[in-house]
């Protein structure tokens, strides 16, 4: 029986240069999709999947993330005094309980693999989820992480969420080569980070959701650099694939790359349209603009 996945790692140390000047003083992970910060949406996804401990790998000028997941007594008291019950409930219902959050610094921007390695002492020797806050997955049913944990319970090992992209975009991503599967879940036999055009093993790209075994930390400890001179998580997974099973999941849901302006804008539109309290009126206003 596979060991349970209780912890999730969220790399949030990036500079957010593609969103300057908005991200100069505000962490890009605190930019809002409708009325929820990006980081809150992915934490909600993890909580829905049963994750119990949320580990944030931060950097300088990221204290707003820590504050967001803390109590703010003065604001809570003011809302209560003014009878703003709905607002108070919205503010407090999703807060992690004491001891459920941990924060560790990544002092240098040395890549995703390095950010994951920075969380090694907090994760310990147990499997964990790795969730990139730049990537939102809007699902009608179970969230992406919950879908992955279903696959993990069935297969164990390591799980990667994948999605097909147009052939001319494959070069920008980590890519997997798969074996025979059931249409949704496939064994992975090879991976490559940002392949040169014409060398792609498939058009299935790594999404930004992972279930990983703790042996990945042993590999990352070597601090070997790859594409872009950074410590790449894909390179470490390729090494781990030599001794452990990996499965790819074609998840159900729609992805928004909120690391790009276009993806972020589309996410705001899609999430607003899905809100019963906003969707109909928002759709009408968008039609007027168009």
Does 33 map to a domain? yes
Whether 227 shows a pLDDT value over 80: the answer reads no
Rounded alpha-carbon distances, angstroms, from residue 171 to 59, 193, 199? 28, 8, 9
For every residue of 204-226, DSSP letters joined together read: EEEEEEEEE-THHHHHHTT----
Looking at the domain assignment, is residue 1 inside a domain?
no
User: Which among 278, 30, 280 is positioned nearest to 133, based on CA atoms?
Assistant: 30
Q: Output the pLDDT for position 286.
A: 95
pLDDT greater than 80 at residue 228: no
The verdict on residue 201 lying in a domain is yes
Query: How many whole angstroms separate alpha carbon 169 and alpha carbon 197?
Result: 9
236-265: average pLDDT: 95
Tokens found for residue 92: 């407090």
Confidence of residue 170 (pLDDT cuts 50, 70, 90): confident
- Please determine, for residue 181, whether its predicted confidence score (pLDDT) is greater than 90: no
- In 3-state terms, what secondary structure has residue 248? strand
Residue 40 pLDDT class (50, 70, 90 cuts): very high
Range of the domain at 241: 7-289
Residue 11 pairs in a beta bridge with 57
Reading the block at residue 46, the tokens are 């993890």
pLDDT tens, position by position, 53-111 = 999 999 888 899 999 999 888 988 998 999 998 888 888 888 888 899 999 999 888 89
CATH number of the CATH domain containing 81 = 3.90.550.10
Helix boundaries (H) for the chain:
38-48, 63-68, 73-81, 85-92, 112-118, 120-123, 144-155, 215-220, 233-240, 261-273, 279-289
Beta bridge partners of 104: 57
Look at residue 1 and tell me whether its pLDDT is greater than 80.
no
**What's the confidence (pLDDT) of residue 92?**
83
Q: Quick check: is 2 in a domain? A: no
Q: What is the pLDDT of residues 199-209, one digit of tens each?
A: 888 889 998 99
State mean pLDDT over 113-124.
96
Among the ranges given (88-92, 116-120, 258-262), the one the predictor scored with the smallest mean pLDDT: 88-92
Say what the pLDDT of residue 136 is. Answer: 97
Q: How many domains does the chain have?
A: 1
Q: What local confidence, expressed as pLDDT, does residue 95 receive?
A: 86
């Amino acid at each position: 029986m596979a060991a349970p996945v209780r912890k999730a790692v969220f790399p949030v140390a990036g500079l957010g240069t593609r969103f300057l000047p908005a991200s100069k003083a505000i962490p890009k992970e605190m930019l809002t999709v409708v009325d929820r910060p990006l980081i809150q949406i992915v934490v909600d996804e993890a909580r829905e999947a049963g994750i119990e401990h949320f580990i944030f790998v931060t950097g300088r000028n990221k204290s707003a993330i820590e504050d967001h997941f803390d109590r703010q007594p003065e604001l809570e008291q003011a809302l209560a005094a003014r009878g703003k019950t709905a607002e108070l409930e919205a503010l407090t219902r999703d807060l992690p309980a004491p001891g459920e959050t941990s924060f560790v610094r990544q002092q240098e921007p040395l890549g995703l693999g390095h950010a994951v390695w920075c969380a090694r002492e907090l994760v310990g020797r147990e499997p964990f989820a790795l969730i990139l806050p730049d990537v939102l997955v809007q699902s009608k049913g179970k969230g992406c992480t919950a879908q992955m944990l279903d696959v993990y319970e069935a297969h164990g090992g390591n799980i990667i969420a994948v999605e097909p992209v147009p052939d001319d975009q494959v070069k920008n991503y980590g890519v997997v080569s798969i074996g025979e599967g059931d249409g949704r879940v496939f064994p992975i036999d090879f991976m490559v980070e940002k392949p040169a055009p014409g060398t792609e093993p498939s058009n299935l790209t790594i999404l930004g959701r992972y279930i990983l075994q703790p042996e990945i930390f042993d590999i990352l400890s070597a601090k070997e650099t790859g594409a872009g001179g950074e410590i790449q998580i894909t390179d470490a997974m390729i090494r781990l694939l030599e001794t452990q099973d990996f499965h790819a999941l074609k998840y159900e849901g729609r992805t928004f790359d909120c690391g790009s302006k276009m993806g972020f804008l589309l996410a705001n539109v899609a999430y607003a349209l899905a809100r019963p309290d906003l969707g109909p009126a928002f759709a009408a206003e968008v039609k007027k603009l168009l």
